[in-house]
Amino acid sequence: MGVFAPITTPFDAKGEVAYDKLKDNMGFYANSGLKGYLALGSNGENKSLSNSEKEKVLATIIQNKSSDQVVMAGCIFESTRETIEFAKIAQGLGTDFVTLLPPSYFKKEMTDPVLLKYFSDVAGSLSTPCLVYNAPQFCGGTTLSVNLVKELARHPNIVGIKDSSTGNIESFLLAVRDTFNVLPGSANFFVTGLVMGAPGGVISLANVFPDITCRLYNLTVNKKYEEAFRLNERIIKLNKSVSGSGGVAAVKYAMDLAGLYGGNPRLPLLPLSDDLRKKIEDYLKKEELI
């Protein structure tokens, strides 16, 4: 498989979606080594977009990817009905995979049986294959259990999991790696996942430096471990200095420094502080990346 960028959504100075800038960014990404994209995820500021904006963002990404790249579309809603409605829109636009995050408003009710039915009902309503998304930091702390993931792996239209949590990737891989695609969702355990059998990963840093992250993937899968581990150490430090320091706003600022269009996040997220901007710029210059 390969590296997926959890692509950012650009906004202009008035906070409107800058579709032209997204198209420009896609022109760069389409010529990179990326396997594809996660559209409308956390880096895409999913919850800050209207449904019509989500649809247009997704269409722009699909229309401007290269022919050999694939798109995973985040369909993140609180009700089964609305999730299915948007997932069918995404399916109609030509998305390759639908990515599903657990609902979070009624967190205490999100037991394994409830989540099993939620994911199964959505996946069973689609012809497009689905992945579940384990990211407790974005859904009130709800973590998908290994037992639940084992059950989901039996569903004919649920084909994998993206795991962005801390300390769970090994358990998922050991439980279902032979029958299920387990994708690390962080540079911090990307190589660990690959060595244990993950087919690829969704890496925030790929928004800024896709070629470096793709090189790390290629080195690891070709078992050039000494070189891969050196590069991995550099990428983990780089990741902590960018997205680890300021989240989406920091990723977008690093994109600006790298010659892409990042811009500011949409309110209520605030632009990056001047202090953090300087730290990121100084670090990227020291690493000779800008």
Is the distance from CB of 156 to CB of 130 less than 8 angstroms? no
Residues 6+ apart with CB under 8 A from 93: 55, 58, 59, 62, 73
284: tokens are 């990227």
Neighbours of 114 (CB within 10 A): 13
Q: How do 181-184 and 200-202 pair as beta strands?
A: unpaired
Say which of 21, 35, 162, 252 is annotated catalytic: 162
53: tokens are 């904006």
Residues 6+ apart with CB under 8 A from 136: 142, 143, 165
> Does residue 107 have an active-site annotation?
no
Q: Rounded CA gap, 122 and 99, in Å?
A: 10
Report helix, strand and coil shares of the chain as percent, to nearest 5.
Answer: 50, 15, 35
User: Coil, strand, or helix at residue 99?
Assistant: strand
190: tokens are 């990307």
Q: Rounded CA gap, 201 and 191, in Å?
A: 9
Q: Which residues are catalytic, by number?
A: 162
